[in-house]
Structures are given as structure tokens and as C-alpha cells.
Chain A
């Protein structure tokens, strides 16, 4: 076991339950402003402009299905209904796979269904590719990844989430994975229509070391962390949804009742970052102030957010199990022992689906993100893709084509035959469809996990025909928050920092946790930031400034 194995929040797991997360940043063709890459191209820097355009696949949007809720402000598209099997669109009319075998390493948040199960067999058969899965626990994936990539036994394809791009992993990607450009660049992608329908922004982020190496899993550009509350409980007890950080604090005070085993909230640090308008994470953690780059760690809002989050802890509003990272916030929340918490937006569906089995009236919702003083919030657009599947450089042409065939199958849009199989398994075995509602059977729940999910996905969508109110609420929340998002510097770029700065930011996550839990002072963070500057932060700033001057402020 390792530190992130509990299901409490961690950067490694916050995208965990993205069973059907995908992304749609309005993917137009990039405009050309800057040219060329920067730095030692294979191992650091980024690729933009004309050079980038030459690497990217053409974009041919899918017209197979019309969403019930169209995308707006960078949100996903939403689906509230499920078609009967007979009316599903067909996005892969002919099997592209030739029956070859490929080994794939991917994170799994759940228990592996084991080889030979009916779901995998059906998927292999339908895609025409036999997959030998090497699933690893998603919560500790990074540790396994480092070891596997260092060995001489790299699987044919490997899924890498962006939050594992620490230390030397980026160097491994450019050294160990194949260039897919010869198979996908420009019009070549049209051989794989579902891959051609992936928005361009998602592909841009899959360019590593000057080559198109990744198959993207697109994501919305709207915030993925949502502060959740229970509208049913709020209404019953007359609570108002807060609109400033002070109101949030006061509400916590009103709700907090340790004697009845009820605490006001979980760890709200991520929400605090949004309330105070803190910059996003690497590489989007810079902003220009009077022509000078300022890092998120150096901003006042970062310290203010920590200070506020700390005040919730010191007032005793945070559930003790959360403080000790030994409790699952989602479970504490659904069972009413925690009134508010924040997590990836996909928890909305996950918790609702489970709770409504026992309590059909259960409702939860995400509150709109507010600026700490009640004004309009400053939110930064999320990257257009965060999970990629790479192909080993040792794979031959045949093998690469098998993997692309499989990716074309997994990237099928919602409402297609292929997506139904991928997400719900075989009808009658893994799920049943009745009156437009899909219900998974026990076999479905035990076998159909997000294993094929991350090989490549369609443009972001949220489809919950079993709980249409959740699909609607979720997409509308995204659209409202999307109205406040702005693009951070270097938006859409895959920036590889020089290896010598690999461990520069390693202390911050620990220190954030120490500060909000009251073990360290906010001034300790200021000290750490000043150490960070001398240890390389200032040089990193210069490096980014040069990059900015050479490439412009976004990929396209």
C-alpha cells in the first residue's frame, strides 16, 4: 500500500472516475502565429505554429449523433437518453483490426475482471484486435510506470496520464515511444474516422518532443474540480448556497455538528484555488505581470487560498478522517457525515447512482464557483487532453496499425454501436435497455470498467440516461463556469521543462497539506518560495520567458 491508496483526494486520483469524461474544446484548425519549436527539441521545450500544424491530423467532425445538450463555453456535450440497440449509429462499419495481439498497460481504478471475461472477449472480437491487458492500480500508477518504462520490456502500448509526467517520465516518453505522425498526420488520419473526429486541441497536447506520439483522451476546458453540496438537505434546513468565502465559512459554522457526527466540509483547498483565482498547474502556472512572468507559487492569491483553507481546518469544520486522509470523502458526503466537499465533477454521477438505489430522492449538485469577495471568478481553461496512449517504439508497422484500429474503435462517439459496447458491454449480458434507460447487470458492474477508455476517446461528452438530471446539471454547470474561464499562458501546448528542474516543485504539495492542516505557517510557504527561486525557479522563469518570446502564448 502507498500513500494514495485511500480514496481520499490526491492529484493522482482526481481524474480517476472519468468513466465517460471526454473533452470538447471547440477544435478549429490552429492559426499560425509563431514558428518552430524551442530548445533541445527532443528533450525540452514545445512545438507550435507551422511545425505543429504539419504534425497534426486533419479534423473531420463526427456527424453520427446529435447531442441532447450542445457544447457551449468549452463544456462537454450532454446526452440524457439512450437509444435502443437497433437505432444506434455505426461508426466503424468494417473491422479495421486484423486479429493481431497487442499488450497494453493502463491504469485501472477498480478490480481487474481477469482475462477471458465476456466483456474483453466481446471488445476484442468487435475491434478485431486481441488485447493482453497489463492493468495497474490507478492510484499508484506513476510508481509502476517509472519501473516499467525503465525496463527493456515496454508493452506495445502504454497509457500515461498528465499528472504522472513528473521526474524523468517525460524523457521516457520521447525516448521509448513511437512517432505516430507517419500514420496520422494530415489526411492520413481519415483512414480512422473516429480519430479524425478528435478535436485538434487534444492532439496538440499529444505532441511530445517534436513528434505526434500520443493518442489523446479529450477533456472539457471547463474546471474539473467542483464543490458539491446537497440541495435536498439545504432546502430542508433552509441553508443558502454561499457566494463568498466568508459566507462559506459562516455556513460551515452553522452546519458543523461534531456531536451528531456531522462535519461541515472536506478538504476545500482545490476549491479555494478556484475561489481565489489561483493559476493552474505546470506548465500553465505562469502569468504576465508588467512584462514579467510570475509563477502561481509567487502570487498573493495562492497564499490567500491556503490561508482560507487553513481557517476551515483550524475552526474544526473539516472531517477528522479527511484530515488524516483515511476516509473516503464521497462516502462521508453521501452518508450525510460531511455537508460539502470538492472532487472531480464525475463524482456527481458516481455518488448519485449509488445513493439513489437506497434513497431515490437523493440529490447532489455542484455550487457555482464564486470569487472570494463575491465578484466574478477568475478561472483558467483546463488543457484539452490529459491522458494519452503511447505506442512502443519497438512496435512494427503491423502492430501500430492494430493499435490505431483499436483506438478508432474506442474513440467512437456516444450513441454509436461501438461506444455502447465499450461503455456498457453486451446487451443481455452486461446491461439491459428499457424505456431509454440502460442498467448494468451484475456482470456488467464486475467486468465493464474503464479499461479501453483511455486508448483514445471522442470529443468530451457526458451521458447519463439513467439519471438525466445529472447529465443536464453537470453540463449546465460546466457552461456557466465556462463563461468565466480564460486561457492561461502556453495554453494547449505540451511543454517539457528541462530535466534539471524535474524535482524543483516536489516540495509544494507536501507543504500545502502541512499549511492547511495547521502544521506549518503560511510564512513557511513564503520561505519555500524564496528557496524555490534560488534553487532554480528564477532560471525556470527565464527559460519560460524565452519560450514565450519564441513561440507566443498559445499553441495555435
Chain B
């Protein structure tokens, strides 16, 4: 009763199928949904809580986006649902207003600039760190290095920004040391021109170590035999990295790049909001903080929703495009073709 008829079906040749899997004769169209449900019921049950969370907190609220086409006033009725029913429809007015909104375009420009800076400066750092950690042979040294690198990830942004202020602010350690030696102090924390690099630097300090985990896992899966064999063939350290380590990391790098591009318009909210006054909205306003200020602070829910929708659509297009590029490069991307 095993795989004879359905040899052409890749699913049926699953290594776990060895015995007793009910596999009735059927046309080449594949096994029926009912059977797949039955076969995968354990897995489905395991993902159920996540699916419910996703539905309740991501998909159902999506329906609230209709307020982008209204002049929504949450206070005219007893609850949000009735308020939506009673608020006047305004068609695409909010979107038209957005097109003419200088501040929206400024926020979009800042967002993209920060994304590009982060992509070039932040993204390679975890890869390099992973290679660095991987080069430690002694497990103890390696564990200590990892712990030190992970630690800042667990600091809150408030703390990180404060630490940076204490170091690089106008009354910070560096300024004070300079003054003690007869120079002028420097204030890196309130310079709008440096801001985009400053937050990237903060992000590297806080999160680069954490980003290493995925790459380390990928590196762990590389068989030591490959290194040994190439060493026997006379490959030096750099050759081994170039021909073995980096190709092993390639699929992971591609996947993370695609995900990163999908998040291009989400460049950090709390971190930026905390430093808004220090450098001013001109340098720091990004789409997320703009939505927050317009929607939550000033009560312009409809307009904020419209900006949110545009952000979502642009993000989706970016991820599709990046995935396409990944496919063209022969990688899997976030999903298979």
C-alpha cells in the first residue's frame, strides 16, 4: 500500500512515510485536502494558536482600514463599529490630501534614507560578527563572546539613548574629556545632519549581536568535513571562507535581505520618537512617527489610516520585487516559486 501508484508525487515520498500511511489510489492531481488535513493534523494544531493570534490582531483589524475613506470621528457613537457606520464617507480625499502634504513626503524621504543607510551599514555587521565568533575554537571563549554581543539587545531604547547621551552628548564623557584637555566639546546627539548615522550606530550597538544568531545557526550546519577536505587540498583560511562559509550563508542572507526590504518603511519607532526633539522632526520624522503624531496625538485617525495603507502597499510591492530578484539569483526567497 505504500507509494507504488503515486510515485510521481513528491509529497508521497516524504521520508517519514515509510509505513502505514493511508495512500489510496487516486489520480495524479494529488492527495485530497481531507487527507492532507488528517495527515498534518498535529502540525496544524501546533500552529493554531499562532493563526488565531494572527487573525485577531492582524487580519480583523485590517478591516478598520475603511476609516481611510471616511472622515472618522470615534466619539460620535458608543463604540468603534457604530462610529464607522455613522462617520461620513469622503472617498479618496485623505489620499489626495496626502499627495499634497509636504510633511508626508518629507517623512517618506527620511524613511527611505534611513533604510538605505541601515541596509549598507547595519546589515553586513551580523554576518561579519558571525564569522568572527565562528572563528573561536574554544567553546568557552565563544560563549563569552556571544553573551557580550547579545546583552545590549535586552536594553530598552530609553536606556540605549541615555547611554549614548552620556557618552556622546554635549555634557557627555567624550565632550568632558575634550574640554579637560583644552578643546571644545562635541555634541553628536543634537546634530540633525548626523542623526541618520547616529541611529544606525545605536542600532548596531544594540542589535547587531542579536542578529548573529541566525547566521551562527547557518554556519553550524556546514559539515566540518568540507573544511577538512579543502584544507587538505591546500586552501588557506580566506579561501575556505570564500568557497565554503559564504556560500553556506547565501540562502540565509538572501532570505533576510528580502525580509529586510519588506520592512524598509519600518525603520524604528521608539528609538526615533525618543530623539525627536533633540534633532527636530525635519531630520527624524519617519512614516511611523508621522502616523503616530497625526493619528494618535492629533486625533486624525482617517488620515493616519490612509498613510498606513500606502505604507503597507509600498512594503508589499518591495517585498515582491525583492523576492523576484532572489528567485532570479537562484535563491528561495520567502516563498518558493
Contacts and interface: CB of A to CB of B under 8 A. Distances in A.
Contacts of A519: 192, 279-280, 282-283
A320 B80 contact: no
Contacts of B283: 519
7 contacts: A1-B156, A167-B298, A171-B76, A258-B171, A324-B277, A503-B298, A517-B190
Nearest to A171: B75
A171 B276 contact: no
A110 to B, nearest CB: 18
A520 B189 CA distance: 17
A171 B187 CA distance: 44
B282 to A, nearest CB: 7
B300 interface: yes
Given A149-B74, A167-B298, A517 B158 contact: no
Contact of A168 (B73, B162, B175, B279): B73
Contacts of B276: 3
Nearest to B299: A167
Contact of B76 (A151, A175, A520): A175
B170 A502 contact: no
A175 B75 contact: yes
Given A503-B298, A506-B298, A514-B282, 17 more contacts: A1-B158, A143-B296, A146-B299, A149-B75, A150-B75, A168-B73, A258-B170, A320-B171, A320-B175, A321-B169, A326-B165, A326-B278, A513-B280, A514-B281, A517-B280, A520-B280, A520-B282
A142 B8 CA distance: 63
A169 B298 CA distance: 9
Nearest to A174: B75
A166 interface: yes
A261 interface: yes
Contacts of A513: 277, 280
Contacts of A175: 75-76
B215 to A, nearest CB: 30
A87 interface: no
Contacts of A321: 165, 169-171
B140 to A, nearest CB: 37
B120 interface: no
Interface centre among B74, B172, B185, B187 (most CB of A within 10 A): B74
Contacts of A142: 297
A325 B298 contact: no
Contact of B158 (A5, A151, A337, A510): A5
Interface in B54-73: 73
Contacts of B294: 503
Interface residues of A, number: 43
A3 B300 CA distance: 19
Interface in B170-192: 170-172, 175-176, 179-180, 185, 187, 189-190, 192
Interface in A98-153: 142-143, 146-147, 149-152
Interface centre among B185, B192, B298, B299 (most CB of A within 10 A): B299
A294 B68 CA distance: 35
A1 B292 CA distance: 13
Contact of A167 (B161, B172, B282, B300): B300
Interface in B262-304: 270, 273-283, 293-294, 296-300
A399 B138 CA distance: 70
A153 to B, nearest CB: 9
Nearest to B270: A1
Contacts of A147: 296
A259 B178 CA distance: 9
Nearest to A173: B75
A109 to B, nearest CB: 17
A261 B192 CA distance: 24
Contacts of B274: 1, 3
A336 to B, nearest CB: 13
A390 to B, nearest CB: 13
A176 B73 CA distance: 13
Interface string B70-92: 00011110111001000000000
A502 B179 contact: no
A280 interface: no
B176 A176 contact: no
Contacts of A146: 74, 296, 299
Contacts of A319: 170-171
A396 to B, nearest CB: 16
A172 interface: yes
In order of increasing CB-CB distance, the 4 nearest A-B pairs are A320-B170, A167-B299, A150-B74, A152-B79
Contact of A261 (B157, B171, B298): B171
B285 to A, nearest CB: 9
Contact of B297 (A1, A151, A167, A325): A167
Interface string A1-32: 11101000000000000000000000000000
A323 interface: yes
Contacts of A324: 165, 169-170, 187, 189-190, 275, 277-278
Contact of A151 (B79, B172, B189, B282): B79
A142 B162 CA distance: 25
B78 A326 contact: no
A430 B131 CA distance: 59
Contact of A166 (B157, B279, B297): B297
Contacts of B83: 150
B300 A503 contact: yes
Interface centre among A176, A261, A321 (most CB of B within 10 A): A321
Given A1-B270, A167-B298, A167-B299, A176 B75 contact: yes
Nearest to A5: B158
A326 B273 contact: no
B297 to A, nearest CB: 7
B67 to A, nearest CB: 11
Contacts of B189: 320, 324, 326
A320 B298 contact: no
Contact of B169 (A171, A259, A320): A320
